[in-house]
Each structure stands twice: as C-alpha cells, then as structure tokens.
A and B are shown apart, each in its own frame.
Chain A
Amino acid sequence: MMRRGIGILIVVALTGVGRADDATDPYALEVAKARVIRAAVQRIRPSLVTVETIGGAQPIAEGPEGVREEAFRLADGPTTGMIVSQDGLILTSSINFARNPTVITVTLDDGRQFVATLLGRDEIRRLALLRIPETGLKVADWAPGEDIAVGQYAIACGRGLMGDAPFASLGIVSAVGRRNGNAIQTDAKVSPINYGGPLIDIDGRVMGICVPMAGSGGALAGAEWYDSGIGFAICKEKYDFVSDRLAAGELIEQGKIGIVLEEDESAIRDFFERLLPKKEQAVRIRDVMPGSPATAVGLRKGDRILALDGQPVGDVPEMLRRLSDRAAGETITLTIKRRWRKFDVTLTLARMEDMGKIRGPENAGSDEGESDDGGVEPDSETGDSTTQPADE
C-alpha cells in the first residue's frame, strides 16, 4: 500500500520532468542541468571564502592513563566559509577551531587574504562566526525556509581545495527539520572540504550551512559521516537564533540541568490512574547533582517531570533529544509533579564547567533568596531537603 503510494509519486514526478524537457534528446536534460548547476554556483561564488587555520594542538583527552592526545583525528585542512555581512562577518563551521589555532586566514574569491578574528562558536550547531577587517563584501542570499522542500535539488559548495572554482556536489534535500529542527538533511556529498560552506538551491540561494553532525554528538564529533549520503546543513532560522550571541563572541554549548533521569516506573502505583481517561506521561528524576541548576530551584530525587516548556515529555530519550540543542544560559520551564502537587519551575541551564558551583536559594541561606525565577513552590520546600531520601 505504502509502496504503491511511493511508486505513483515517482511516476507523477517523472512525467512532469519528461514534459518539461524534450524527451526525444536523452542529453538535453543533462546538459541543461549542468548549466543550471554552473549558474547556481556562479551566483554564490563571490560570497564563498577559504578558511585556513595555522597552529593549535590536537585536543587532549583525559583517560585512565592520564592526559593524552585525542585518538580521533580532527579535520584541519583548508575549509569553507560564507560571507554573511558586507562589513566582514563570515559564517563557517566550528569544527575548524577545536584546536584553538594561532592564526586564522580567510581568502576571498578575488584572492585577497586577511587575518580573521574568531568571534563566537556554537558547539551545538557546529557554527562559528569570524570577522575580517574589510567592507563592501558580497553577502549571500538565503532561500526562505518555506521554499525548501524534500526532493528538491541541493548543491553543496566548498572552497577548501586548491583550484580556480568552488567545489560542488549535487544531491537532493532528504529531509527538513532534522536534529530538533536545526538542520536540513541532504544526500549531496558533504565532507571537510565543504564544512562551513553553503548548501544552495538551483537558484544559488543558501538553504543552510554544511556542518559535521555525526550521530554521537559531542563537541568533537568529526567527519564520521562524511560523504555517506547523510549530510546536514544548519538552516537560516537557527543561524538567526544564535547570530547575535555569536557576534558578541559567546561560546554556545549544551546547557545542563544537573539531573539524572529514569523512566517513570510508577505504573503499578498508578494502576488506578490508568483507569482514568487521561494518564500523565512522565520521566522521573533519579538523581540530582549538587550545585546544579536543578538544586538551585529545589528539584528533588523522585520528582516526576510532566512537561518541558509546556509540551508533555514522552520518555527519557525524547526528553534528552529535546534538551540536546538547548544551550547554557537559555531558560527552560519544567512541569513537576511531586506526590499530588503539580507546579512549574523555570531554570537557567548551566555550562558543564560550572556544574557543582551553581548557588541556589538554599545555598544563599534564605527561603525567599534573590531568586525570582518562578521556582516558588520548591523554594518553600528547601528546608525539607535533608529529608530527601525519605521522599522516595
């Protein structure tokens, strides 16, 4: 049934193509297509730059044997960037800067070379913003998000190789709204050559910025999925979401709550709840890390989380997925059920390195504290925190 549906779709799509072009000449379509690709690349070309980094070390990892070089090798060849403001802002992928390079150079399409300053990095979306001391640059045009549809042609462009012209690979838009709505997925070959470069449509408009987003995540996720038929490009909406923070030089990294989650196993206890028409799905807090945003707003072991930002949470993986692109400094609202009481807490996500140091109202030694972040209900409970184990 499903398969037949797809088959019909293909036939419909192809008859469309056949009519549009002279089907008697088997080459006409190919020749026309090549011309379109050339025109599209030509249009984006003045906004493409080569980004090179010099110096910096292989990131180190701390393991049981002590500190050593990360076994995984990072890409550090020349790569691509795209001009996003006429006064020198260049958007590229953060993968190029994990080594903290001493020098970053940017070469424009006309061959002029500049030393660039690294402004901000977004380790969630793998973006980085550079600035070069130049004005009058050609800014790339973006394709409106609503124009981007699955199945349309997509061309991944790069300037990470020696040559007179940009590098291009052709594919289609495989999916939109991937990775929490951050990325467009494409089957155009995407590799370190074009990380940081744009994924364009056949009109030469930018649909997204190609970045490495392998499955494992983590700031050092590298090129594992290069040329695999699964490439990602961050869409304009999400770049706009972080562009001010990047320009201000912020490092955007995943935010932490400081809780360990587990599936809500209270199904038996809630046997009677199941007889009721609406059962609330939830995840349970198995552990709370001291000095974390969670303790600051009084979250406790055993609390059940019903909703994140007003949307019900399904299970632990779903909750983690939805948190995966929330950065430190951003606020989230959790709907908590503690025994029979239901209340909302709003907390600000913390950076990994600040975990353990977050001071909440209970540390300040006052129930009312300076906190006005909405955690009213748990605030009034902070005196009970020593009785937490009994709370199970």
Chain B
Amino acid sequence: MRRWAIVHFGMLLITLSAASGIAVAAPSDEPERPARRLVAPNSTARAFSRSEAAVVKLYGRGIGREHGYGTGTLVSADGQIVTVLSLLSARDGARVVLSDGRTMTATFVRKDEYRQLALLKIDIEDAPHVEFKDSTSLELGDVVFAMGNWFKVAEGREPVSINRGIFSMRTKLDARRLTQDFSYEGDVLLFDAMTSNPGAPGGPVLDIEGGCVGIVGRIVEASATNTRVNYAITSEEIRAFVGGEIAATAPANDAGDGEGRKEGYVGISISRLGFRHVSPYVERVRSGSPADKAGVLADDLVLAIDDARLRNANDYKDAIRRLRPGDKARFILKRGQRVMTVTIEVGEKP
C-alpha cells in the first residue's frame, strides 16, 4: 500500500520531468506559434526528428522468452538494417514497419554470433538512415538518446520512443558474470537511459548532435549483481560488422577445450574442501614452478588473475584455463592482511 503510494509519487515526478523537457521552449510571449514548433528547439527533439525515420519496428514470431518484436536501425540508403540476433532476425521474413507506416519484408544478410548482431535488408531506395559517429568522442555526463520500440508501444506509422540519459562510461561487460551465454569482450557504452526493456535491442544510441554512437545490445543480466545492464555496442564495432567483418568467437570461449592447444602451467594447487563457494586459497606451490619463482606461497589467497576477480575455486580454474605458455599473468594475492601483485610467467605443463 505504502509502496504503491511511493510508486505513484515517483511516476508523478517522472511525468513532471518529462513535461518539463517538452515545455522548455514554450514561449510565453508568442502564443500563436504552431504546436509543432513548440518542441523544436531542444536537443532531444532535434535528435529525434533527425533519426526517427531511420529506426524501424521489427515483428516476427516469438517463442518462449524471445519476444516477437524488436527494433532495427537503418544504416544505409539501400536499406541495410542492423539489429540484434534473435529468432526474428535470424532468418528471412521479419516484418519491417517503417516510421511512415510502410511495411516490408526483410531478407537476412549475415549474422555475427560474437557481437550478437544481425544484418537485414529491405528493398528500398533513398532510405533514411543514421550517421555513425565515433563513440570515443563521448565523455562522462554527455547527453545521449536511445530510441527503440520497447514493449512494442509504437505501432503502424507511429515513430519509436526516445529516452534520454547521460553517458556514464566505456567499459567491458564481464561476460563470466552474465547469466546468459554472451561472451562479448569488446568495449560497450554505459548510460543511464533505460534500454534493458523488451524490444529495445537494435535501436540506435545517439549523441547530442544525433550522431549514432552505438546500437543497444541484446539484453543481458549480470548474475553477480542480479541486475540488467543498460548498454550499447560501439559504433566502431557496428561499422566493422556492416562492412562485412565478422568477429571471431571470443578467444575466451574456446579456451582450454581446443585440442592441440598447449595448456598453461603455473604450479599452484588450490585447496578444495568440497564445499561450494570455496575461496581459492593456495594449498601447495610446486617447487621450481613458475608460481614458485614468482614468490607465491602456500596459504596465499588468489584474489584476481589479470584483473578478473575470482570468487571461488571454479573461477580460478576458468582463469587458469585461459592462460597460455609464455603469458605473463598478473596474480593479485592476499597474504595475511596485505594485498600484493606478482607476475607469473606461465610455463608449459611438465
């Protein structure tokens, strides 16, 4: 009951802030201005009017948790559409609805499993499309806009929705901590506009001038924090994908299991007491091994390997599997009440 009161109050505030955005230009001295002009001179309206025609609504059949709708971004005048890989983008026949209401059927061009992107094409000339802009131009606090058909609220000739937020940071998704199987290790853009909604992936993220700095990536849930991430794949990666470059699967993904690959060796055995959630304490260091040479001692706790934090002995095992002979691996250890870093030159299994 009380919670609902708070929710309603929050919604009232949201409505108020939204209203203030629209009303920014409301001129008190020129009441005869046409309504359309009322919203023109603000950056949101400008980014919106420049790009809305380049964002399309996609429909197909949804199965289970996969939604039967999504968003696509027109990236060229000849009708190339970038979207995320999903059931409806993975084959021919997705229904494309343009912002002017025209309906077309897309043909499937190619997909990129690593980036989880799909390229579709519609038969069109002089299509409105976004202009890519270098995503490294973004700085903390810069305004960004995300567009998309979240929850498929836009229908027919209605344009998609726009959200505004600020750019927060450029980082990497910690793939090992995601519940889904998505091992993308490239940079992503984080912002505080909500995009982790059904239907949002595939929509463009625009900067203050309406330049496309990224495309909202597929929805991922971080299992470590139990939260969804609002992020975009950078324009550089999108451009590379549209240009025909398909990224290989992440190196981490095929690590360890490939045959004929040399396994890395450091010479540490970790104590495994048989419980779950065991912290990776060093039980024994083989004398003369790379770890021994680097000064690792029994009872050290391995906190991280190459900046990947280890939560338990299984994380340790995964991190070790990724190491190759010749690598210089940075081990962060806890010894007593001290945190220390040692560099281990990974060797070959004797």
Residues of chain A having any CB pair with chain B under 8 Å: 6, 10-11, 13-15, 17-18, 23, 26-27, 30-31, 33-38, 41, 52, 54-58, 73-78, 102-103, 105, 113-115, 133, 160-163, 165-172, 174-175, 178, 185, 187-189, 191-193, 215, 222-223, 226-230, 317, 321
CB A127 to nearest CB in B, in angstroms, measures: 19
Using A37-B166, A41-B141, A77-B177 as known contacts, say yes or no to A26 and B42 having CB atoms under 8 A apart.
yes
Given contacts A37-B140, A52-B309, contact A172 B279 (CB under 8 A): no
A75 touches B225 (CB 8 A): yes
Distance of B2 from chain A, by nearest CB (Å) = 7
Does B339 touch A at the CB level, under 8 Å? yes
Residues of A within 8 A of B168 (CB): 167-169
Q: Is the CB of B171 within 8 A of A162?
A: yes
Residue B291 is within 8 A (CB to CB) of chain A in the complex: no
Q: Which residue of the partner chain A has the closest CB to B17?
A: A172
CB-based contact B13/A174 at 8 Å: yes
0/1 string, B170-211, CB within 8 A of A gives 1: 111010010000000000001010101000000000001100
For B165, the chain A residues whose CB sits under 8 A away are 169-170
B328 CB within 8 Å of chain A? no
A174, B307: Cα distance in complex, Å: 37
From A26, A102, A171, name the one whose CB has the most chain B CB atoms within 10 angstroms.
A26
* Nearest neighbor of B309 in chain A, beta-carbon distance: A52
Q: Which residue of B lies closest to A78 (CB)?
A: B309
Q: Judging by beta carbons under 8 Å apart, are A163 and B170 in contact? A: yes
| Chain B residues whose CB sits within 8 angstroms of the CB of A54 once the complex forms | 279, 301, 303, 309-311
Interface residues of B in 146-174 (CB under 8 A from A): 165-166, 168-172, 174
When distances are taken between beta carbons in the complex, the residues of chain B under 8 Å from A14 are 20, 23-24, 26
Q: Contact residues of B with A, CB < 8 Å?
A: 2-3, 6-7, 9-11, 13-14, 16-17, 19-20, 23-26, 28, 41-43, 46, 139-143, 165-166, 168-172, 174, 177, 190, 192, 194, 196, 208-209, 222-228, 230, 276-279, 301, 303, 307, 309-312, 332, 334, 337-339
> Other than the known A105-B334, A191-B225, what 19 A-B pairs have Cβ atoms closer than 8 Å?
A11-B28, A23-B41, A27-B43, A54-B303, A55-B311, A56-B277, A57-B277, A77-B224, A78-B309, A115-B337, A115-B338, A160-B225, A162-B172, A163-B171, A168-B166, A175-B9, A192-B226, A192-B227, A317-B2
Assess the B169–A55 pair: CB atoms within 8 A. Answer: no
Identify A18's interface contact among B24, B141, B194, CB under 8 A.
B24
Given contacts A102-B279, A169-B165, contact A10 B9 (CB under 8 A): no
State A17–B14 Cα separation when bound (angstroms): 19
Q: Indicate if the CB atoms of B208 and A31 lie closer than 8 Å.
A: yes
**Chain A residues near B169 (CB-CB < 8 A):** 161, 163, 165-168
Closest to B174 in A: A162
Select which of B26, B208, B301 is within 8 A of A103 by beta carbon: B301
Nearest first, the 5 closest Cβ-Cβ pairs linking A and B are A37-B141, A77-B224, A169-B192, A215-B3, A192-B225
